[in-house]
Structure 1
Amino acid sequence: MDHTLPPKTQHELIERTRTIAGLTLGELAQRQHLTVPAELLHAKGWIGQLIEQALGATAGSRAKPDFAELGIELKTIPLNAQGRPKETTYVCTVPLNEAASSWEDSWIRRKLNHVLWLPIEADADLPVSQRRIGSAILTQLNSEQDQQLKQDWLEHMELIATGRINEISAHHGTYLQVRPKAANNKALRDTTDEDGQSIKTLPRGFYLRTKFTAEILNQHYAI
């Protein structure tokens, strides 16, 4: 099977995840003819790129789900030594000048509606090449998750729409938080303040708290 081609069906995608479950990142990288970085500090996107290549993801940097034809987003979940999510999960950038759109039509909801989660060992004591890939979980938002995410989203977007973006902290939101996302402090974006005046601010990203991803794991693995 040529895993560089996009999967044509959901079943085919799931079958591909089964062929890589249990492999180490080093073993999968060898299959894909890629070199494993010694550490991930300066190669943060490497694992995601490796998995995308192996499974045939097509979106790249385009504003589409990773498996565009299937409407499925791919998210890896780095796990600590106890099998718990190690960090928050980046979803997408925050639209600083499009605060009037609805949750139902938002890009973040489209990305989270149908997700293929792939747990991966991320214990700092494990060399990158020896970290194993877990069994994939395919989910769709249930009504409770959808409602809580919507509530979090509305809270964040109201602050942005009323020019109070700088009041947003990582403490806001039950499942969804907003944090600055920029390589440096010079990567500024335009938005407005409370008086409607144009100001410069750091770009922001939507992140899922580990509470959310832990619930995904709990529901499927009963850990």
Structure 2
Amino acid sequence: MTHVPPPNSVEQLMQRAEALAGLSLADIAKELNIAVPKDLRRDKGWVGQLFEAALGAEAGSKPEQDFLHLGVELKSLPLNAAGLPLETTYVCVAPLANVTGLRWEDSLVYHKLQRVLWIPVEGERQIAIGARRVGMPILWQPTTRQQQQLKQDWEEIMELISLGKVSQISARHGEVLQLRPKAANSKAMTNSIAEDGSMQQTNPRGFYLKTQFTTQILRDYFG
């Protein structure tokens, strides 16, 4: 795999991202000596990892922004034929224990979503993975209203977690942000607060952005 050094400025990052627009995933993978998987069932994060490699991101799976030195998070955004997001966007793992006193401004969700480089990409299942094309990148910062929506959802979800009601939180909770199980399989377990305040074992959860939120980002940018 060819190693791309981290970009030294947001401008350089954007130049690299814009240079990917119009290319197929196979074009990018060939340039980096990365094999294209036959399907994404086993390699769910492959597209995001390909973009990380192409743009010089260094965070990997560490709980921080992909371009920490620039304050930018990288997210791929698979779109359908109508140019709309196909799925919710994973943000980060949710804390399910030791959440007392945790503030929105100190949360990982807040930090990850302060500035996001969105890379739209064709996501229709019938298009072979290598043939999927990349769209124009969007460098996005939440508006005051979006920030407020995210904060409100996060606070409501975190309150339910702190009350030991994690098992009662469904994907319907939250206007723009939701909590869902996040694990390779249902056997993965982690500590969470039980209703009586003790610790219990449950599946890990992750925060996801709902598709209507990412649709709004696309509409604001592309009109």
> 1:3 Cα deviation (Å)?
6.8
Work out whether 1:57 is the aligned partner of 2:57.
yes
- Aligned partners of 1:192, 1:17: CA distance in 2, in Å? 41
> 1:185 Cα deviation (Å)?
2.1
Identity among equivalent positions (%) equals: 49
Matched with 1:88 is 88
SS of alignment partner, residue 125 of structure 2: coil
TM-score by length of 2: 0.96
Matched with 1:75 is 75
Work out whether 1:47 is the aligned partner of 2:13.
no
The aligned length equals 221
Matched with 2:107 is 106
Report matched runs for 1:123-138 at 5 Å: 123-138=124-139
- Aligned partners of 1:17, 1:90: CA distance in 2, in Å? 20
Report matched runs for 1:201-216 at 5 Å: 201-216=202-217
CA contact (8 A) 1:153 1:176 kept: yes
> 1:145 Cα deviation (Å)?
0.4
SS of alignment partner, residue 41 of structure 2: coil
- Aligned partners of 2:69, 2:15: CA distance in 1, in Å? 17
Report matched runs for 1:114-193 at 5 Å: 114-193=115-194
Counterpart amino acid of residue 83 in structure 1: G
The runs of 5 or more residues in structure 1 that have no matched partner are none
- Aligned partners of 2:205, 2:148: CA distance in 1, in Å? 22
Counterpart amino acid of residue 210 in structure 1: T
Counterpart amino acid of residue 44 in structure 1: K
- Aligned partners of 2:172, 2:27: CA distance in 1, in Å? 39
SS of alignment partner, residue 118 of structure 1: strand
- Aligned partners of 2:59, 2:213: CA distance in 1, in Å? 24
The runs of 5 or more residues in structure 2 that have no matched partner are none
> 1:197 Cα deviation (Å)?
2.0
CA contact (8 A) 2:63 2:92 kept: no
SS of alignment partner, residue 106 of structure 2: coil
State the 4+ residue runs in structure 1 displaced beyond 2 angstroms: none
Matched with 1:9 is 9
> 1:104 Cα deviation (Å)?
1.0
